[in-house]
A and B are shown apart, each in its own frame.
Chain A
Amino acid sequence: MPRRPSMRFCSAVFVPALLAVAVHAATPQEAQKVRHEHYEELGDAFKAVRDNSKGDSPDWAALGKATQTVVDASIDQQKWFAKGTGPEAGKTRALPEIWAKPADFTAAQKMFSDRAPKLLAAVQAKDAAGVRAAFKEVGGACKNCHDNFRAPEDN
């Protein structure tokens, strides 16, 4: 049964609005959990890049998939640190400096998003040595941010 135009209008307006509310209504704790999962996914992808770039004949298909995840994360992570999702909201290794020094933090994040495409370019060019070099560079960007904005492991 064709829907009435007014109902279609309602859907067009309210469904995205409801979705937006739902996203924003996520508690800081939920945001922390989602962030944690994102970084686990990133660690998984990063390990896959490392594993598949060893040796003389890398698995280019696997590398391409994992590298795309890394590149996507390098851009998406700029949205993962909403205000109020620091240590005040619960157990996290995210340091308060993230929100205290936003310019520095943004620069650290940008280092990652600037370097990640180089990794993808090397994979697309099927340049094994280039992949290993870019992997080190991207790893350096991760480490730079972790050294400054992440608390050390507590074990």
Chain B
Amino acid sequence: MTEQTPVASRARVRVWDLPTRLVHWLLVAGVAASWWTGETGRLEWHRWSGYGLLGLVLFRLYWGFFGGSTARFGRFLRGPRTVLAYLRGAWEAVPGHNPLGALSVVALLALLATQIALGLFAVDVDGIESGPLSEFVSFEAGRAAADWHGALFDLLLWLIALHIAAVVYYGLVKKQNLAAAMLHGERELPPGQPAVQHASALRLVVGIALAALLTWLVARAFRL
């Protein structure tokens, strides 16, 4: 546990803990790998990158409930009124995602989770390649999942583009380097901000174990 007491003067604060940052950049690598293997028909590798992404998203969902304060959905998700207040500039900043950025986080995670789920059931047009859970659905349902998997990926790309555009906007207009903050995890914050609470190592170990176990089970179609 660090930064238990409110920050006294403008100081560098560890806003994003290591698991949150690592998951973020591994998701970037995983999506890139899945894109490339999917487009070039390397389906064996595509399954592996998909399993990697599944584990990451499962861990991030766990971390959204049991992780540090800035990673928790309950802390950063706010109602439409707060989002509007933020847009009007009438929002009192706290460390972590702003109300609008929070929506982007949740939208990206939800779309990624849906995309992975569809991939698990997808079947290629020849019935040769398929996701690990496709044996539980018919050929037609697997084909439908594959079609949605393709269509939703375009939407995911648009959302990623919007996410990057927002980060660039904050850098150019608001002079806040969000990408660097996601690398080293630190932000300079004015005094009087509520403290950032980090989760214990035990919670981290439990989260990794749970995500790995669930991913392993899914990849084996729940055959023990």
Contact of B126 with A55 in the complex, beta carbons under 8 Å: no
- Decide if A87 is an interface residue (CB 8 Å cutoff): no
Question: In the complex, A54 Cα to B219 Cα: how many Å?
Answer: 12
Q: Is B139 an interface residue (CB 8 A)?
A: yes
Verify A47–B134 contact, CB threshold 8 A.
yes
CB distance from A114 to the nearest CB of B (A): 17
Contact A43 B126 (CB under 8 A): yes
Q: What residues on B are CB-neighbors of A46 within 8 Å?
A: 126-128
Q: Convert B208-221 into 0s and 1s, putting 1 for each residue whose CB lies closer than 8 angstroms to a CB of A.
A: 00000000000001
Given A46-B127, A142-B126, residue A155 in contact with residue B150 (CB < 8 A): yes
Contact of B126 among A48, A54, A146 (CB under 8 A): A146
Residues of A within 8 A of B130 (CB): 47, 50
Bound form: Cα–Cα A48–B138 in Å? 9
How far is the CB of B138 from the nearest CB of chain A, in Å?
8
- Say yes or no for B223: interface residue by CB 8 A criterion: yes
**B204 vs chain A, min Cβ distance (A):** 34
Secondary structure dominating the interface of A: helix
* Interface size class of chain B, counting residues whose CB lies under 8 Å from the partner chain: 10 to 19
Q: Which of B107-142 contact A (CB under 8 A)?
A: 123, 125-128, 130, 134-135, 138-139, 142
A39 to B150, CA, bound (A): 21
Q: How far is the CB of B162 from chain A (nearest CB, A)?
A: 22
Q: Which of B135, B139, B151, B223 is in CB contact (< 8 Å) with A44?
A: B139
Residue from B127, B142, B147 within 8 A of A42 (CB atoms): B127
A85 to B16, CA, bound (A): 60
- Inter-chain contact A55/B142, CB cutoff 8 Å: no
Q: Scan residues 26-58 of chain A and give those whose CB is less than 8 A from a CB of chain B.
A: 39-40, 42-51, 54-55
A143: interface (CB < 8 Å) = yes
A26 to B145, CA, bound (A): 33
**In the complex, A40→B223 CA distance in Å?**
28
Could you tell me if B135 and A143 are in contact, using CB atoms closer than 8 angstroms? no
Q: Closest residue to B129 on the A side, CB-wise?
A: A139
> Within the assembled complex, what's the spacing in Å between the Cα atoms of A27 and B179?
60
For A51, list chain B residues within 8 Å (CB). 134-135
Q: Which residues of A contact B223 (CB under 8 A)?
A: 54-55
Considering only CB atoms, which chain B residue lies closest to A135 in the complex?
Answer: B128
- Expressed in whole angstroms, the Cα–Cα distance for A50 and B139 within the complex equals 11
Q: How distant is the Cα of A13 from the Cα of B138 in the complex, in angstroms?
A: 44
Interface centre among B128, B142, B143, by most A CB within 10 Å? Answer: B128
Give B51 Cβ to nearest chain A Cβ, in Å.
Answer: 16
Contact A142 B128 (CB under 8 A): yes
Q: Is B127 a contact of A45 with CB atoms below 8 Å?
A: yes
Given A55-B223, A155-B150, A50 and B125 contact (CB-CB distance below 8 Å): no
Question: Would A47 and B142 be within 8 Å (CB), given that A54-B223, A142-B128, A143-B128 are in contact?
Answer: yes
**A153–B143 CA distance with the chains assembled, in angstroms:** 13
A54 and B135 contact, Cβ closer than 8 Å, known pairs A47-B123, A47-B142, A155-B150: yes
Distance, CA A47 to CA B127, complexed state (A): 4
Given contact pairs A43-B125, A43-B127, A48-B127, enumerate 15 new A-B contacts (beta carbons under 8 Å). A39-B126, A43-B123, A43-B139, A44-B127, A46-B128, A47-B123, A47-B127, A50-B127, A50-B128, A51-B134, A54-B135, A54-B221, A139-B126, A142-B126, A155-B151
Q: List 16 A-B contacts (CB under 8 A).
A: A40-B139, A42-B126, A43-B143, A45-B127, A46-B126, A46-B128, A47-B127, A48-B127, A50-B135, A54-B221, A54-B223, A55-B223, A139-B126, A143-B126, A143-B128, A155-B150
